[in-house]
A and B are shown apart, each in its own frame.
Chain A
């Protein structure tokens, strides 16, 4: 079978009822502009780290909002904080502040 570089994600279930939303809600309180995210993916399309790896800021955002912090934190370490995502964000979200908040606040979920 020819390989085109695409793959299909493994099926998995996320049980939102068991996830702890307190940190996510805190993040939203401190950076309320995150609520205006339209998940357009501009941040991911322009990302320096995303250009070199599978890092995907839109996905990280989704993970955090769902309360799946561990993966979000691990992913976040790939970010180089260059700030391109902030410049292209059509909603003017302070993405670098989001990154810093995730690093600082969700560090406990590292392991």
Chain B
């Protein structure tokens, strides 16, 4: 048989095994998808989304643009490995087809230099390109080694602690390319078919070693190379390297508008196994950098969940601030996955649960605009009073949903995983909103805002946060804010900023009242106040530790007032603040220009 030597067997078996496992995994996940998701895929395949997905695959799975944004050296490391290896395969394939003709077996290009039959005289462009690519991949491997010793140089303070199977795959991966260099150099020593790198080393080998020794070592090197490839491919579907292939279908499915939901579904598997455990989520996590908790970050959460070892204490210990999600180079929906793993463990409400809410209506006032204070606003009466003044100054008729006590919005229950129970509360609130015929629902609490927008499906009712509402009043000329010349700094609440994408409205309002100085972490990079309702584990002292770290960063701006737009953040920041902490509504209400 042509192009065959016994050493190709480990490689062929390993590759076949890997693809069989991957096809089995993907096939099962796709088969188990809900019908709506399957329909979305069918609709999406023949649309422009497919082309967009292909472009994204090139940018993210091969070039790794998002990792370049984290750190250029880290980006180069990943790109040289992924894109470099891809090109080695692609160019190797072309070379094998050109030289060996069509009908060459699939493994031939991998071991091409060994089987090469051409008589080489003069410069071979393929050998040059292949050597260049090999050098590129080797530089990536060298950087990966260097990263093990000094990760800070590549922009990472902490790296992931890997499990055994990851270490096996990692070791195999690191060996593949040096072994390829050695094997091809020995082949070049015999056949003189190398480029500048393997050819040069080949000449050196040929000059220093006996030809019989070269023959033996050549065969040994190719065996080792084949074994390294085989070990990597066998370990790959069970290790972090499953991400190499899984990120591709994930990108396509995401483009076809598949998302994870508050309840587990088969699509989650694509997200979980697309995690490369790069550990970029570790450094930004405040539980890590303030509290030194180092086993709950998204990378560990996904790992534990993937291997079926998820502990309640890990699933529940997360602020769900979304900082890691905004950094994740794969774009995994980390918060949603965290949420639906909580849902799985505890969501069994009694059928009569929250029936007591039926018929309870403590609302007052009349108007097309409804105001839902929310539990946390009721606990910070200054915010409520400021809103009262603002509504009065604008001459707005308001329906007060819960000024004299009312129900919760349901989001805290949802965040704790009790999605079914939360839906019972939501249904009651929806009835209440519909009964009073409001067209706009204003809330001061970003936690309520998010659930109203995402889960309530309030038809005919526009849900807005009070920052948006106040700004609208100002733009409409119904309210004007007096400039004070004071300095303010602004803390972005997670649920309002990263959660709902509201960054500029509060800033515009603050600039009307005075000067705005930004803290070090702002907008998408903003920190969590620590009191997040999503965390069910950390105790009071830990919450306050996170809070005071944030407060001192805000105080470092030198501003006289810390402004925020969430009653819960306000309470958390005020605990340790030496300057005034105020809600945006207070700032506006205190500086209203009296109409003359």
* Chain A proximity mask over B378-390: 1 for CB below 8 Å, otherwise 0: 1100000000000
Known A33-B540, A51-B405, A83-B533: A77·B360 in contact at CB below 8 Å: no
A97 touches B537 (CB 8 A): yes
In the complex, which of the residues A82, A93, A103 has the most CB atoms of chain B within 10 Å of its own CB atom?
A82
B405, B410, B425, B540: the one within 8 Å of A92 (CB)? B540
Q: Which residues of the partner chain A approach B353 to less than 8 Å between Cβ atoms?
A: 77
B346, B356, B378, B541: the one within 8 Å of A53 (CB)? B356
Given contacts A82-B408, A93-B540, 18 further A-B contacts (CB under 8 A): A52-B360, A52-B406, A77-B353, A78-B354, A80-B413, A81-B412, A81-B413, A81-B533, A83-B412, A83-B533, A84-B378, A87-B571, A92-B539, A92-B540, A94-B538, A94-B539, A97-B537, A103-B346
B360, B375, B544: the one within 8 Å of A83 (CB)? B375
B375 touches A100 (CB 8 A): no
B376 touches A84 (CB 8 A): yes
B531 close to A (CB within 8 Å): yes
Docked pose: A94 CA to B317 CA in angstroms: 13
A100 touches B536 (CB 8 A): yes
User: In the complex, what residue of chain A is closest to B360 when comparing beta carbons?
Assistant: A52
Q: Which residues of the partner chain A approach B500 to less than 8 Å between Cβ atoms?
A: none
A104 close to B (CB within 8 Å): yes
What 5 A-B pairs are tightest by C-beta distance, nearest first?
Answer: A92-B540, A80-B408, A82-B375, A51-B405, A82-B408
- Please name 27 pairs of A and B residues whose Cβ atoms are closer than 8 Å in the assembled complex, sorted by A: A33-B540, A48-B378, A48-B405, A51-B405, A52-B356, A52-B360, A52-B406, A77-B350, A78-B354, A80-B410, A80-B412, A81-B412, A81-B416, A81-B533, A84-B376, A87-B376, A87-B568, A88-B379, A92-B539, A94-B538, A94-B539, A96-B412, A97-B537, A100-B416, A100-B536, A103-B346, A104-B346
Q: Which residues of the partner chain A approach B410 to less than 8 Å between Cβ atoms?
A: 80
B531 touches A87 (CB 8 A): yes
B349 close to A (CB within 8 Å): yes
A52 touches B540 (CB 8 A): no
B65 CB → nearest A CB, Å: 39
A96 touches B533 (CB 8 A): yes
* Chain B proximity mask over A78-111: 1 for CB below 8 Å, otherwise 0: 1011111001110011101100100110000000
Docked pose: A96 CA to B161 CA in angstroms: 31
B268 close to A (CB within 8 Å): no
B176 CB → nearest A CB, Å: 47
Docked pose: A86 CA to B350 CA in angstroms: 25
Segment 399-417 of B: residues with Cβ below 8 Å from A: 405-408, 410, 412-413, 416
B541 touches A92 (CB 8 A): yes
Docked pose: A33 CA to B542 CA in angstroms: 13
Q: Which residues of the partner chain A approach B540 to less than 8 Å between Cβ atoms?
A: 33, 89, 92-94
Docked pose: A104 CA to B407 CA in angstroms: 23
B379, B407, B568: the one within 8 Å of A80 (CB)? B407
B583 close to A (CB within 8 Å): no
Q: Which residues of the partner chain A approach B541 to less than 8 Å between Cβ atoms?
A: 92
B360 touches A87 (CB 8 A): no
A95 CB → nearest B CB, Å: 10
B356, B536, B537: the one within 8 Å of A78 (CB)? B356
Q: Which residues of the partner chain A approach B408 to less than 8 Å between Cβ atoms?
A: 48-49, 80-82
Q: Which residues of the partner chain B approach A52 to less than 8 Å between Cβ atoms?
A: 356-357, 360, 405-407
A82 CB → nearest B CB, Å: 4
Docked pose: A48 CA to B316 CA in angstroms: 23
* Chain A proximity mask over B536-573: 1 for CB below 8 Å, otherwise 0: 11111100100000000000000000000000100100
Docked pose: A77 CA to B357 CA in angstroms: 13
Docked pose: A103 CA to B379 CA in angstroms: 25
A46 touches B536 (CB 8 A): no
B247 close to A (CB within 8 Å): no
In the complex, which of the residues A78, A80, A89, A92 has the most CB atoms of chain B within 10 Å of its own CB atom?
A80
Q: Which residues of the partner chain B approach A104 to less than 8 Å between Cβ atoms?
A: 346
Docked pose: A15 CA to B425 CA in angstroms: 37
A80 touches B425 (CB 8 A): yes
User: In the complex, what residue of chain A is closest to B411 when comparing beta carbons?
Assistant: A82
Docked pose: A33 CA to B376 CA in angstroms: 23
User: In the complex, what residue of chain A is closest to B352 when comparing beta carbons?
Assistant: A77
* Chain A proximity mask over B329-363: 1 for CB below 8 Å, otherwise 0: 00000000000000000100110011011001000
A52 CB → nearest B CB, Å: 6
* Chain B proximity mask over A46-58: 1 for CB below 8 Å, otherwise 0: 1011011100000
B356 touches A84 (CB 8 A): no
Docked pose: A49 CA to B353 CA in angstroms: 12
Q: Which residues of the partner chain A approach B492 to less than 8 Å between Cβ atoms?
A: none
Q: Which residues of the partner chain A approach B407 to less than 8 Å between Cβ atoms?
A: 48, 52, 80
Docked pose: A58 CA to B410 CA in angstroms: 22
User: In the complex, what residue of chain A is closest to B353 when comparing beta carbons?
Assistant: A77
